A and B are shown apart, each in its own frame.
Chain A
């Protein structure tokens, strides 16, 4: 079974608009970490945001916020005020347990920001 599901292979958003990238996960471990990474065409993986399973509040990092709904096992990434430079692949990932070594990635969503 897929550990991480990203149902949107591709997304378009108008510049300056907000966009939500979906991510659902599957785990029976109470301790896990959820991550979002951006991968531009250059290939490097850029860390965006992290949410621990025990964190009470949704994580935020600048224009990025993570809509963490634990009961639904979803960890959607919200990008506010999209910029042309946000066009890239976005990967949701999970590490279980959170201090452990098992790290899996979702299939990714390609975001295209339109001028």
Chain B
């Protein structure tokens, strides 16, 4: 089956630094990928929709300059958390739509801890 891979799984960084998270579709082309954020014991909240070759569509309340999304190819989308602060610590998950109805594949998630 289709696989979506995220890297890194875990990242710890100092406040003020930038962190890049990659989301790859391994055996299919994903024109659209989604980035979610999940706080402990809460549900997934959609942050943005990443479209290959165009600008991402951000959900209301999500800072575009803070969370930079790049979808440069049909198999790779990246989320860069710029000038990270402790409140950005969270679990970030990407997903990609498959070609058939009902298909939505998730990455393994990336746990970010900002010290």
Contacts and interface: CB of A to CB of B under 8 A. Distances in A.
B11 interface: no
Chain B contact surface mostly:
strand
Interface string B88-115: 0001010101000110111111010000
A44 interface: yes
- What bracket does the count of chain A residues touching chain B fall in? 20 to 34
Contact of B106 (A33, A44, A106): A44
Interface residues of B, number: 21
Specify which of A33, A43, A95 lies most central, judged by the most chain B CB atoms within 10 Å of its CB.
Answer: A43
B55 to A, nearest CB: 15
Contacts of A91: 43-44
Given A52-B101, A99-B101, A103-B95, 8 more contacts: A35-B104, A43-B91, A43-B93, A44-B107, A91-B44, A95-B104, A101-B49, A105-B43
Query: Closest 10 A-B residue pairs measured CB to CB?
Result: A50-B102, A45-B106, A43-B109, A105-B43, A105-B44, A44-B108, A107-B43, A108-B43, A98-B101, A33-B102
